[in-house]
Amino acid sequence: SWAAAATGGESPIDLGAAAFKDLEEVREHVATAGHTWADVGPFAMGDESLVVAVEPAPRYRGDTEAALADLQTWQQAGHAVLLTVPGPGQAQRTVEWLAEHDVAARHVEVLEPGAGSSERIVQVAVADLDEGFIAADLGFVVLTYDD
């Protein structure tokens, strides 16, 4: 049983046959795919580290008018805006609600780097994030359903 395995006993399945990759293999795959690898931590990492000014997203607490105004301001400034929601139903409804308020948006399965900013379209994606953030220097804003 898994309870026995947790205390040092045998696991109920052969974990040796699992298809997990080690971290270095994942990094190589990311580099091969042309993506950037980033480590986030509270301490300085050395000369190769990049410090990005990031601030927490506003907590609107139900003030949808303020949220809409900020979304429009960020869009007009050319920022890429990502709005995360907990499920596909909320994603579709959010896109519809934004359209009702003259904010261009689309539901995306995969974040399209640069697409939202160049087209001035809010990208809405299903993701489990607790809090959003603003990286003004990068022109990138992430808001969550709970913001």
Between the alpha carbon of residue 29 and those of residues 26, 58, 75, 113, 142, the distances in Å are: 5, 35, 33, 19, 26
pLDDT at res. 24:
87
Candidates 3.40.50.11140, 1.10.3720.10, 3.10.310.30, 2.40.50.100; correct CATH number of 55-144?
3.40.50.11140
pLDDT at res. 46:
66
- Residue 60, pLDDT > 90, answer yes
Q: Is residue 24 a contact partner of residue 18, using CB atoms and an 8 Å limit?
A: no
Give first-to-last CA distance, the chain, whole Å: 41
Tell me the two tokens of residue 48: 């190769």
Averaged confidence pLDDT in the chain: 84
Range in 43-47, 65-69, 73-77, 125-129 the model is least confident about:
43-47
pLDDT bin (cut points 50, 70, 90) of residue 30 is confident
Give the pTM: 0.66
pLDDT at res. 4:
75
- Residue 43, pLDDT > 70, answer no
> Whole-angstrom Cα distance, residue 67 to residue 126?
19
Q: Is residue 37 a contact partner of residue 30, using CB atoms and an 8 Å limit?
A: yes
Position with higher pLDDT, 10 vs 54: 54
Scanning the structure block, which residue is given the tokens 């160049």? 118
Say how far residue 41 (Cα) sits from the centre of its chain.
17
| Mean pLDDT of the region 40-53 | 68
Q: Is residue 82 a contact partner of residue 123, using CB atoms and an 8 Å limit?
A: yes
**Where are the chain's structural domains?**
55-144
pLDDT at res. 34:
84
> Whole-angstrom Cα distance, residue 8 to residue 31?
37
pLDDT bin (cut points 50, 70, 90) of residue 25 is confident
